[in-house]
Chains A and B, each alone.
Chain A
């Protein structure tokens, strides 16, 4: 009887957790009051978790652009179509790789730090102190970090895409000596602004929301111990990564 109950709990556990996570999102958004101090907090967090992720995003974007071009030129050369490299790199970057890789990097760089920070605030009684001062910690702590993630990921994705194109240009034109006029004209004519570029940014907006929600929720619900914060941080990376790929498939199905 007890083992049947345990099995049932294990099966319903993820559903319950998902429900609690959505309730947390509702609690965050329902109590929102956009006054000056909230806007200041959102901007500060956007700087802390968004701007500080710029360097890693730019470095990764540059090398992803280079490696994509290397692989594309190797494959296209067999068909005498290496001048199509910018089209292949542009499409795959703007539609898929840019939003997905940026969100994965953001989950690893910023999502974990948000979870650990909130978890430690809980472990050091800062959340309890806030409740005792009649200050809603969800509004004061979770909301600015969530909003900062939603704002940051599309901006970081745009930066990732720009640096990836730069990497591709450096490799294709600078190293492989492809014609720069053909490279840019193929990119200009083959890439559609709304369908490819804006479509990718929509995805990144959703990914930003997913990663940030997972990060603040796991931080807020972490057990207030060292082990609990560690587990919550790991869960943030694992669940964010899985959810990014699931949402990518769902959104791609609707956007194409």
Chain B
């Protein structure tokens, strides 16, 4: 099952290798034995209902959270056992686009994009300016560098955040619900940017989402996560026709199915009368 994701023309060795991942919050097990291989150069989606642990996997990959069991390897390096300094160096090599863009509200658009460059390189100011302006032009927003984040529309803010995420040319891009709250035109723009940047720069992208229709046109491979496990995986076209009940319920938006309506199903209905 895992081998499907690793096979591809770019390289046989997966860039991200996750083995038997277990993550708990208190007594609740969020992820229970998740394993996957992510192929270099691909765009992979983690899909599933809200609150199922998709963003948790993203945070485990970026080293913000530590797994209780199992391992995450990126380019053959274990993330969970990395010392802080090494983890910091590793994070320079990943770009992250968070749900609402998370632009720094006290800085202009230009300063937002320049912040990681100034922090991690010793480039002279004219070069920083050229780099920032080239990224801003690449996302189609040349000329807005002096604006503050509150002066931007949702779609523009997301594109600026995208420019900031790719400004240091990372090897891996992580997207957390990148299209939430955007209008259809902005969705198409961001989707095109994600695909073109991924292919042009040879990145590997992981997208966390619960929007099936938006992602099926973008991603190469999907993992459906339900009840802490991988319920199904494969190219989006194949998953839509899956006979696996959890996958069928999620991909086709069915109310009835193995993914429960209740967060914790009550033992008896009498609890409602207490």
Binding site for B on A (CB under 8 A): 37, 117, 120-121, 124-126, 128-135
CB-CB under 8 A from B88, the residues of chain A are 134
Chain B residue at smallest Cβ distance from A45: B106
CB-CB under 8 A from A124, the residues of chain B are 100, 102, 105
CB-CB under 8 A from B100, the residues of chain A are 124-125
Q: Which of A37, A121, A128, A135 is in CB contact (< 8 Å) with B105? A: A121
CB-CB under 8 A from A126, the residues of chain B are 102-105
Chain A residue at smallest Cβ distance from B119: A135
Q: Which of B92, B98, B103 is in CB contact (< 8 Å) with A128? A: B98
Least Cβ–Cβ distance between B59 and chain A, in angstroms = 9
CB-CB under 8 A from B99, the residues of chain A are 125
Task: Give the 9 A-B residue pairs with the shortest CB-CB distance, closest first.
Answer: A129-B102, A125-B102, A134-B91, A134-B88, A132-B96, A133-B116, A125-B98, A135-B119, A126-B102
CB-CB under 8 A from B105, the residues of chain A are 120-121, 124, 126
Q: Is the CB of B62 within 8 A of A132?
A: yes
Q: Knowing A121-B105, A124-B105, A126-B105 are in contact, say whether A133-B115 is a contact too (CB < 8 A).
A: yes
Chain B residue at smallest Cβ distance from A121: B105
Provide the B92-120 mask, 1 if CB < 8 A to any CB of A, else 0: 10101011101111100000000110111
State the CA gap A126–B107 with chains docked (Å).
12
CB-CB under 8 A from A131, the residues of chain B are 64
State the CA gap A134–B64 with chains docked (Å).
11
State the CA gap A41–B99 with chains docked (Å).
27
Q: Is the CB of B102 within 8 A of A128?
A: yes
CB-CB under 8 A from A128, the residues of chain B are 64, 98, 102
Q: Which of A117, A129, A134 is in CB contact (< 8 Å) with B98? A: A129
Q: Is the CB of B116 within 8 A of A37?
A: no
State the CA gap A132–B170 with chains docked (Å).
12
State the CA gap A117–B107 with chains docked (Å).
13
Q: Is the CB of B96 within 8 A of A134?
A: no
B130 an interface residue at 8 Å Cβ cutoff? no
Q: Is the CB of A134 within 8 A of B104?
A: no
Q: Is the CB of A135 within 8 A of B96?
A: no
CB-CB under 8 A from A133, the residues of chain B are 91-92, 96, 115-116, 119
Least Cβ–Cβ distance between A34 and chain B, in angstroms = 15
CB-CB under 8 A from A121, the residues of chain B are 104-105
B254 an interface residue at 8 Å Cβ cutoff? no
B89 an interface residue at 8 Å Cβ cutoff? yes
Q: What are 11 A-B pairs at a CB distance below 8 A?
A: A121-B105, A124-B100, A125-B100, A126-B105, A128-B98, A132-B62, A134-B89, A134-B92, A134-B119, A135-B116, A135-B119
CB-CB under 8 A from B118, the residues of chain A are 37
CB-CB under 8 A from A37, the residues of chain B are 118
A sample of 6 more A-B contacts (CB under 8 A), given A37-B118, A126-B103, A133-B92, is: A124-B105, A126-B102, A128-B64, A128-B98, A132-B62, A134-B88
State the CA gap A117–B105 with chains docked (Å).
9
CB-CB under 8 A from A135, the residues of chain B are 115-116, 119
